[in-house]
Amino acid sequence: MTYFEEELLREIRELMNDSRVFSIYKKAYEEFRPLINVMNKIVLKVYKYNDHGIIHALLTTRRSLEIFRILQRKGYKMTAEELGGNEQWSKFIISIGSLLHDLGNAIHRKYHYLFSVVLVKDKVLEYAKELVNGENYLLLTYLTLDAIFSHDEAVESITMEASIVTMADGLDIEAGRSRLKHDPNTIDIHSVSAYSIDKVLIEENDDPDVPLKVVIHMNNLAGVFQVDEILRKKVENSLLMGRVLVEIIANDKKMIRKI
């Protein structure tokens, strides 16, 4: 799949359906885009990892908002709401969290989720002040930083918003954007699986207890390795565990599993 920034921004604006939050998101996108590009150069050239650039950040945002809308329709309550916030808060948390979650890779791949928080905390505080008044901006800031910190499978996601960002990040496994480090010149399960997934779709599932359905189109069942090593690990370490149905379609074969 090929994605373009302007198209993703348009889709994010439509899914967000909140001009105030989108205005802040667009500001963050413009301010951090150069830093994301520098970070991605380090990721690609130094770590020899897959792309973690602006398309990944925007695509993660779009998918986070898709997940959020489905959970809303199914009646799931967000953590921000439980703490006195509202829908606008949740949109802010998952969109800003999705955009900035990988910036810490600019310092080091190890503990990059912690370095992301260090790098963006002051700006997140500034953005939160634009959205809410009084001391509430502190709560909004900390919930957003939690979503950034918790996106890695090594960290338990303890809020619904963080769980959404975590899952959305784990869905970026389409061909050419594998979440697993691999050598394209070596034929092994890592390299084969990296090019096996053609398309990932998020749908609403009929079962209210398992509200999310992920449809994954593969050209080779080796792509299941990506699903188990990336998506499954992220979901199982979040509040969405047990609420995701994965439908894998490879040629004439179909596999269904619950995470």
pLDDT at 131: 97
Cβ count near 63 (within 10 Å): 25
Q: How confident is the model at residue 133 (pLDDT cuts 50, 70, 90)?
A: confident
Give 220 or 26, the one with higher predicted confidence.
26
221 vs 13: CA distance, rounded Å: 35
Q: Which residues contact 176 (CB under 8 A, 6 or more apart)?
A: 51, 194, 195
Residue carrying structure tokens 């948390």: 93
21 vs 235: CA distance, rounded Å: 26
100 has pLDDT over 50: yes
Cβ count near 66 (within 10 Å): 20
List, as one string, the DSSP characters of 84-129.
T--HHHHHHHHHHHHHHTTGGGGT-STTHHHHHHHHHHHHHHHHHH
- HSE-up of 94 (CA within 13 Å, CB side)? 34
pLDDT at 158: 98
pLDDT at 180: 47
pLDDT at 202: 98
**Burial of residue 142, with CB atoms counted within 10 A of its CB: 0-12 exposed, 13-18 middle, 19 or more buried:** middle
- What order of strands is seen across the sheet that includes strand 244-250? 197-204, 212-218, 244-250, 253-258
86 has pLDDT over 50: yes
188 has pLDDT over 90: no
Q: How confident is the model at residue 177 (pLDDT cuts 50, 70, 90)?
A: low
- Give the residue-averaged pLDDT of 123-152: 96
- Give the residue-averaged pLDDT of 34-52: 92
Whole-prediction pTM? 0.94
- Give the residue-averaged pLDDT of 28-37: 98
119 has pLDDT over 70: yes
231 vs 221: CA distance, rounded Å: 15
pLDDT at 212: 98
**Domain assignments of the chain as residue spans, ordered by start:** 5-170, 189-258
Lowest mean pLDDT, pick from 88-97, 160-169, 189-198: 189-198
Q: How confident is the model at residue 20 (pLDDT cuts 50, 70, 90)?
A: very high
- The string of pLDDT tens digits covering residues 222-241 is 889 889 989 999 999 999 99
What is the end-to-end Cα distance of the chain in Å, rounded? Answer: 25
Cβ count near 37 (within 10 Å): 11
Range with the largest mean pLDDT of 43-57, 118-132, 174-188, 243-257: 118-132
Report strand pairing: 244-250 vs 197-204. Answer: unpaired
The H-assigned helical ranges of the chain are 5-16, 19-45, 54-73, 79-82, 87-100, 112-131, 136-149, 160-170, 189-194, 224-226, 233-236
pLDDT at 134: 82
Report strand pairing: 244-250 vs 212-218. Answer: parallel
- What percentage of residues in the chain have a pLDDT greater than 70? 94
Q: How confident is the model at residue 185 (pLDDT cuts 50, 70, 90)?
A: low
Q: How confident is the model at residue 50 (pLDDT cuts 50, 70, 90)?
A: confident
Query: For 201, phi and psi rounded to 5 degrees?
Result: -125, 145
